[in-house]
Structure 1
């Protein structure tokens, strides 16, 4: 399936590019969320006419992402979790939890889908997490996972 992109998408293309994607990705993600139009003569003409406004919108998004980048890049967060003796956590730290921690600490909204954890965080230690703020802007945060102090049984 060929689509015309309405925004810059990492590893896919720039605004106005005609790219070939799998049908499911095109229909269920790109077209559904307004990131692309199905490629046809009419849609290509529409995108070419709207290209200037789309580029302006993209610049605004990039500017907002840069502001967020300046706030959160290279910040440190500490998580206290229950863990076994060997350092394995009971459960794991997921992007939703990281998103809530950033939002409460910095008063900005980061969607869990923007957080790239890589492998699941299942052990005590320090980790570097990548935050995808824009197709061209990625920030990093550092998290430290420590063992939660056990409460004495009374």
Structure 2
């Protein structure tokens, strides 16, 4: 089944890409979650619009991506979260929390969908976070979760 991706899908493609997938995967997962739409002749305008939006959001080039990765590595990121006496959080750290903490620390604006957390972060302390900045560049930094 031929689809146009509307969101980035790991291992499949980026927004605006035309992909061929199995029918069940398309009907049961991609289309209901809004990750893709059927590829029709009238959808070419939508592909162009999605690609224009992606170009604005994407990193300019490889050098710019490396610069952002170096900026992230030098950054000290702290996030205050509600926690119990034993250091366990009430809930867990989310990608949105990480994006807000990086912005508050003076770092670059990140896309929450490209944040890769090390599992479910449910304790205070330091945790390693990865960000897929460019297809060839992954930025890594440490976020310190403190009770607050």
Shorter-chain TM-score range: 0.5 to 0.7
C-alpha deviation, 1:102, in angstroms: 0.9
Is the CA contact (8 Å cut-off) linking 2:78 and 2:101 kept in structure 1? no
Structure 1: any 5+ residue segments left out of the alignment? Answer: 32-36, 149-154
CA distance in 2, matches of 1:97, 1:67: 23
Larger strand proportion of the pair: 1
C-alpha deviation, 1:135, in angstroms: 3.1
Matched residue count: 133
Is the CA contact (8 Å cut-off) linking 1:10 and 1:135 kept in structure 2? no
Is the CA contact (8 Å cut-off) linking 1:10 and 1:136 kept in structure 2? no
Does the alignment pair 1:25 with 2:30? yes
| TM value normalised by structure 2 | 0.61
Does the alignment pair 1:135 with 2:135? yes
C-alpha deviation, 1:84, in angstroms: 1.9
| TM value normalised by structure 1 | 0.59
Moved more, 18-27 or 64-73: 18-27
C-alpha deviation, 1:68, in angstroms: 1.8
CA distance in 2, matches of 1:17, 1:89: 41
CA distance in 2, matches of 1:90, 1:141: 23
Choose 1 or 2 for highest CA Rg.
1
Moved more, 95-104 or 71-80: 71-80
TM-aligned CA distance change 1:137 to 1:19, over 3 Å: farther
> Which residue number corresponds to residue 79 of structure 2?
79
